[in-house]
Chains A and B, each alone.
Chain A
Amino acid sequence: MTADNGRHAGMPAGDEPMPRGALADLRVIELAHERSAFAGKLFADMGADVILVEPPGGDAMRTYPPFLEDIPGAEHSLAFWHYHTSKRGIVLDLEREDGRAAFRRLVAGADVLIESEEPGRLEALGLEFTALQREHPRLITVSMAPFARNGPRAREQTTDLTLLAGGGPAWSCGYDDHTLPPVRGGGNQGYQTGCHYAFLGALTALLYRDRTGRGQHIDVDMHAAQNITTEAGSYTWLVAEQTVQRQTGRHAGVNPSPQSQVQCADGRWVTTGFPGRRGDDYRRLLGWLEEAGLLGEFVEAPLLELGTQHDRLDLSRIAVDDEVRAIFGAARSALVFLASRLPAYDFFTGGQSRNFQVGIIYSPEEVLEDPHFIARGFPVRVPHPELGRAFTYPGAPYLFHGSPWKIQRRAPLLGEHTEEVLREVGAGAAAG
């Protein structure tokens, strides 16, 4: 069961027309690159007319698995499908003069340009973005570079892995066992974090242009983006010159913290969080143990009983007060015990409904099957007319009630809109 694409619980239904996305008045030109693909998607799913410019033969991402039915092919890459929703796609050969001429026609009608080319390429083609911006004062141009575009590390080679490893996140992620390597968080988060800043920067420039009529150039430093997305990793050094150390499934810290992940009766994992400090919290824990038929097996139950006699534990005394330490320890143990004896989903919903902040560790696909995400319309159906089928995609990161997020169409086939777009800008159709 999935919601109509882009329509969410609580939004207008029936006869009311769907309002347009918040960026429906914008045209964005995106030079295809894996580093910047997600930035274009953020625009496109909010209604912007994003034109993806691919080289002859197509963007490299078309060769990335996984593929539809595991069969490689330019129209089969699910990575490409995801990162290029809602865009139109054209093929231009920027190595040829007619390709560059067509690109300049496109630029003249655009609001935003996005690129993440290798250093020097656009200069060599006469398409350097700051120069294009000077020619078109309303234009907002965005250059996404792994390091400061003209800075000391500009020529270093990078991937998502090396950005996350060099920029700070990996230092904080991994296991208590430090013979295991630091871990890169999965899912291209290094690139996506860079794209979040590209999009933020472009929106900032857009609001400035709304007021002044003037565009400008934006530089994104993707290494910098990782560096300031590490929470305590950076500020603990900045403020106190201390170094956090990675721990399994919980915040890296200067000092070790208690385990928080438990494997449940069904083999899945949960995160147990904080058991609370009030007598009422311990009453609810006892009630939960009893309802689950586990009270008799939980040997620390008398300590929880003792806890119910407190209005509120003074946790600042935990190091010096044996009773506080014993009660709080029993409360932590109760959550771990419940988690180890219940299926993960029962622990999650049972704990949350009793006001304990606990979480189930879902695999990404399991989110799409969760009743809450379904009720809010997160999974959306996207038609693929070329296949005569429709598929479920991940949905909106934010629910706009007046100008909604929506996947306008599936990712473009290679060159699908070349003629259409070039006709619109009067550039003919031969440039590809």
Chain B
Amino acid sequence: MASKALEHIRICDFTGQLAGAGATKYLAAFGAQVIRIEDPTNEGRWDILRGQQPFKDERQGINLGGSFNNHNTEKLGITLNLRTERGRELIRELVAISDVVSENFAAGVFDRLGLSYEDLRKIRPDIIYVSNCGFGHSGPYVNFKTWGPIVQAVSGLTFSSGLPEQPPAGWGYSYMDHTGGYYMAMAIMMAIHHRNVTGEGQWVDMSCTEAGASLNGPAMLDYTVNGRRLRRAGMPNSNRNQSPPMAPHGIYPAEGDDNWIAIACRNEDDWQALCSVVAEPWTADARFVDLTTRLAHEDELDEHVAAWTRARERFATAAALQAAGLPATAVQRPEERVDHDADTAEWGLWPTAHHTEMGDVRVDGLAVHLSESDWEITRGAACLGEHNEYVFGELLGVSPAELRSMKEEGVV
């Protein structure tokens, strides 16, 4: 009998944005009961994505943010004012029936709410607490604030993305919000496994910049072992490949406006395959006879390749090169990979989630399928306080009358 992998897990979730919300989105898709707590006094605006563009239609509003919906599918949403005594009582009751408490506030915020790890374990000794912020909860930069681009800058990821003689290109989005969320989800699951084995909870202190810095290992070792810095003339050059060296290897222009094709020759077979498809005299030039000579003349080689690709339609070129056996792909626009890509369609990568106010909206799915206990995304993000009655009433036993008075008093 198939069931969801994490349906036995309850998470008391204070995360937001993407770096935190992405983590619990993953877990919720596998059935974890994620209860997202929002502050009623500012309509949950600590999460700046709530109520922000893109919008599905002409309507705008605190419940209608497209990215917020994308990152919070399958979660429950409640409002609770933690500055009230009753609010603090109820959050302790919720922690007591939760496996995990997750948050990605700036360091210190959670302590000031009276919810440090020491506080939490008094409520529930085997609680798992996972915090995720830009610089972690200790060290000289503990009070520094970040968002994705700053995490990427400080961790080395912005620098290592770029072309020679140009400023850093960086990442055109918060790669480390996505990836920080992945590491946070990993941390939560590993801490649950550890608890399953030992009976013990723990605190995991995640610093998003450390997670980011762990993603450039070989470049770091080249420095610590060989003394060679990535900050040097001609580097980085991240459209080329240094480990292993390949040539040609790059993103080349194609027919049309801002159209591009990526081509990688991994070895001599790929090079011969490319030559057979190109079938122009320059491919027989002595400068390009083997990898060593191609690397020595890589600029000229790239000019020849670009002159050939520039006149050609990128999908047809990629198909011809793939038919000859070498890696090539059009640089796909969002529309192309979302609506016209046979792989993402086959995978079911863009599920439709039903949101109470927005209606049906397609969202990011997940890149794994589990044979017995797979994910499912059908419910959109919660509107503000959408699940107050279920969580306070059914899970915590608050009577309807008290819930009404809590509403009047601004507790929820």
Contacts and interface: CB of A to CB of B under 8 A. Distances in A.
A309 interface: no
B216 A397 contact: no
B272 interface: no
A205 B70 CA distance: 24
Contacts of B154: 348, 359-362, 367, 370
B392 to A, nearest CB: 28
A391 B223 CA distance: 10
B327 A227 contact: no
A361 B158 contact: yes
A273 B143 CA distance: 17
A219 B368 contact: yes
Interface stretch (A94-102, A240-248, A298-306, A423-431): A240-248
A287 B66 CA distance: 39
A94 B171 CA distance: 40
Contact of B183 (A156, A169, A373, A397): A397
A167 interface: yes
A113 to B, nearest CB: 13
B325 A157 contact: yes
A182 B226 contact: no
A269 interface: yes
A395 interface: yes
Contact of A363 (B231, B260, B373): B231
A398 B161 CA distance: 24
Interface string A378-409: 11000000000001111111111111000000
Contacts of B186: 42, 196, 199-200, 203, 398
A147 interface: yes
A240 B347 CA distance: 22
Nearest to A348: B154
Interface stretch (B76-84, B198-206, B281-289, B402-410): B198-206
A375 B334 contact: no
Contacts of B183: 196, 397-398
A252 B344 CA distance: 22
B225 A22 contact: no
Interface in A149-179: 151-153, 156-162, 165-175, 178
A399 B207 contact: yes
Contacts of A172: 171-173
Contacts of A138: none
Contacts of A373: 139, 209-210, 213
Interface string A63-96: 1111011100000001101110000000000000
Interface in B93-141: 135-136, 138-141
A219 B213 CA distance: 28
B344 A402 contact: no
Contact of A362 (B156, B244, B334): B156
A277 to B, nearest CB: 13
Contact of B337 (A168, A197, A219): A168
Interface stretch (B3-11, B382-390, B393-401): B3-11
Contacts of B205: 10, 398-399, 401
A333 interface: no
A151 B331 contact: no
Given A157-B325, A355-B145, A170 B337 contact: no
Nearest to A152: B342
Contacts of B308: none
A329 interface: no
Contacts of B143: 352-353
A271 interface: yes
A200 B209 CA distance: 20
A376 B139 contact: yes
B233 to A, nearest CB: 13
A160 B202 CA distance: 36
B178 interface: yes
B332 A171 contact: yes
A242 B338 CA distance: 12
Interface in B163-204: 163, 166-175, 177-179, 182-183, 185-187, 189-194, 196-198, 200-204
B221 A207 contact: no
B6 A207 contact: yes
B156 A366 contact: yes
A222 B367 contact: yes
Given A166-B329, A240-B54, A204 B364 contact: no
A284 B241 CA distance: 45
B218 interface: yes
A169 to B, nearest CB: 8
Contacts of B236: 186
Interface string A215-249: 01111111111011111111111111111101111
Interface in B1-55: 5-6, 8-9, 18, 26, 30, 53-55
B56 interface: yes
Contacts of A352: 141, 143-145
A243 to B, nearest CB: 6
Contacts of B89: none
Contacts of A225: 367
Given A161-B239, A185-B238, A187-B216, A251 B173 contact: yes
A241 B371 CA distance: 32
A364 B367 contact: no
Interface string B139-161: 11101111111110111111111
A165 B335 contact: no
B327 A244 contact: no
Given A239-B54, A365-B219, A184 B167 contact: no
B5 A239 contact: no
Given A261-B168, A359-B153, A162 B328 contact: yes
Contacts of B372: 208, 214, 216
B349 A229 contact: no
A166 B216 contact: no
B342 A151 contact: yes
B412 interface: no
A357 B166 CA distance: 24
Given A66-B222, A224-B367, 8 more contacts: A10-B205, A66-B218, A130-B371, A165-B331, A166-B262, A186-B162, A230-B173, A378-B210
30 contacts: A9-B139, A68-B225, A160-B241, A162-B327, A162-B328, A165-B261, A165-B331, A166-B330, A181-B250, A181-B260, A186-B160, A186-B236, A196-B183, A200-B182, A204-B5, A214-B372, A227-B349, A238-B338, A240-B54, A250-B149, A251-B174, A353-B144, A365-B222, A368-B220, A375-B138, A391-B221, A392-B224, A397-B211, A397-B214, A401-B205
Q: 9 shortest A-B CB distances, which residue pairs?
A: A402-B202, A364-B156, A239-B66, A172-B172, A165-B262, A365-B223, A359-B150, A82-B217, A201-B368
